[in-house]
Amino acid sequence: MNIKEQIGVLIKLQATADAIAAMNARLQGVDARVQTLDERLASFVNELNLLETETEEFEKSYRQLEADSQMNTSQSAKSQEKLRAVKTNKEYQSILKEIEEIKKQNSRIEDEMLQYLERIDTSKRAMAENQESYQQIEVEIQAEKASIEEEASQDRETMAQLQAEWKEISRKADSAILAQYDVVAQQNNGLAVVAVKEAVCQGCHMNIPAQKYNELHRFDKLMFCPHCQRIIYLQEGE
CA distances from 96 to 24, 58, 71, 109, 133 (A): 85, 34, 18, 20, 55
Domain that holds residue 134: 27-171
Query: What total of structural domains would you count in the chain?
Result: 2
Give yes or no for a contact between 173 and 13, defined as CB atoms under 8 angstroms apart: yes
pTM: 0.63
In this structure, the answer to whether residues 106 and 217 fall within a common structural domain is no
223-224 and 231-234 strand pairing: antiparallel
Of the candidates 130, 146, 171, which is a domain's last residue?
171
> Which pLDDT value is given to residue 90?
85
The pLDDT profile of the chain, 238 residues, written as one tens digit per residue, is: 788 899 999 999 999 999 999 999 999 899 899 999 999 999 989 999 999 999 999 999 999 999 999 998 898 888 888 878 777 888 888 888 988 999 999 999 999 999 999 999 999 999 999 888 889 999 999 999 999 999 999 999 999 999 999 999 999 999 999 999 999 999 999 999 999 999 999 999 999 999 999 999 988 899 999 999 999 999 876 5
In this structure, the answer to whether residues 160 and 191 fall within a common structural domain is no
> Which pLDDT value is given to residue 81?
84
